[in-house]
Amino acid sequence: MTEHILSLGALFLLALGTSVIPGPSNFLTMRIAMRRGRGPALAAALGTTLGCVIWCVAAAVGLAAVLAAAPWLYKILRVVGGLYLIWFAIALWRAKPEPEAAEPPPGATQAAFWQGLAICLTNPKSVLFFASVFSAYVGPETPQWVHWAAVAVVTATCLVWQAGLALAFSALRAAQAYARAQKPLDRGAAGLMGAFGLSLLWTSG
């Protein structure tokens, strides 16, 4: 019992470290928070969290074994993820500045949710985490309660971190700072997204 509790504590630290590392999901939530406000940003956080839940389910049904038996699947995911990030980077680069007091356009919340989900599902960092670290907690030799606890730990960590970003970067000061420098901030985010996407394509050969 104590051994499993300690291992779940270690999983929490690993999940937190993976969440904190700068990546596409974090950049997306921060950018939506500053540009669209709290509601769409929280929707993006929920989309990202749903992506984590889906990867949890994939790990539970044998993600690591599938990738070991068919490594080409991981290569395809890297290519798809790279292309999606490059497409998203181009859209960010071409985004037009908006007035500081502009209300989110219709459908902004739904769009943010699906963007968060898509970014999470196409992020190879997520695949590596769930196929290696997380899979160790949902093996056949692990008690069932540990399986559910591992899912709860990872899901809660993802949700709290992403929601924290959404709330912090949708604050008035962050929104005002973004309004004063929309174009360079958008293009900076586009450059980071594009570079990450290109790196995925480069290492997929």
Q: What is the tens place of the pLDDT at every residue in 118-134?
A: 888 887 777 777 776 66
CB 49 within 8 A of CB 158: yes
Q: What pLDDT is attached to residue 46?
A: 96
164 pLDDT band, cuts 50/70/90, is very high
Residue 36 maps to a domain = yes
Residue range(s) defining the domain that contains residue 119: 25-202
Taking all residues of the chain, what is their mean pLDDT, rounded to a whole number? Answer: 78
Q: What pLDDT is attached to residue 100?
A: 54
Residue 17 maps to a domain = no
CA distance 123 to 51: 10
Q: What pLDDT is attached to residue 136?
A: 67
The total number of structural domains that make up the chain:
1
Residue 167 maps to a domain = yes
Residue 177 maps to a domain = yes
41 pLDDT band, cuts 50/70/90, is very high
CA distance 17 to 38: 24
Q: CA-CA distances (angstroms) from residue 147 to 49, 57, 58, 137?
A: 18, 10, 13, 6
Q: Report the largest interatomic distance among the alpha carbons of the chain, rounded to a whole angstrom.
A: 57
Q: What pLDDT is attached to residue 101?
A: 47
Residue 32 maps to a domain = yes
Picking from 171, 169, 163, 130, the residue whose alpha carbon sits closest to that of residue 43 is 163
Picking from 26, 13, 6, the residue whose alpha carbon sits closest to that of residue 169 is 26
Please give the average per-residue pLDDT across 2-20, as a whole number: 78
- Rounded to the nearest angstrom, the gap between the alpha carbon of residue 23 and the centroid of all alpha carbons in its chain is 7
Please give the average per-residue pLDDT across 143-152, as a whole number: 80
Model pLDDT for residues 81-107, shown as the tens digit of each residue: 778 778 778 877 777 766 554 566 778
Residue 4 maps to a domain = no
Q: What pLDDT is attached to residue 138?
A: 62
Residue 189 maps to a domain = yes
Q: What pLDDT is attached to residue 140?
A: 64
Residue 141 maps to a domain = yes
CA distance 124 to 82: 9
Percent of the chain at pLDDT exceeding 90: 16
CA distance 130 to 168: 27
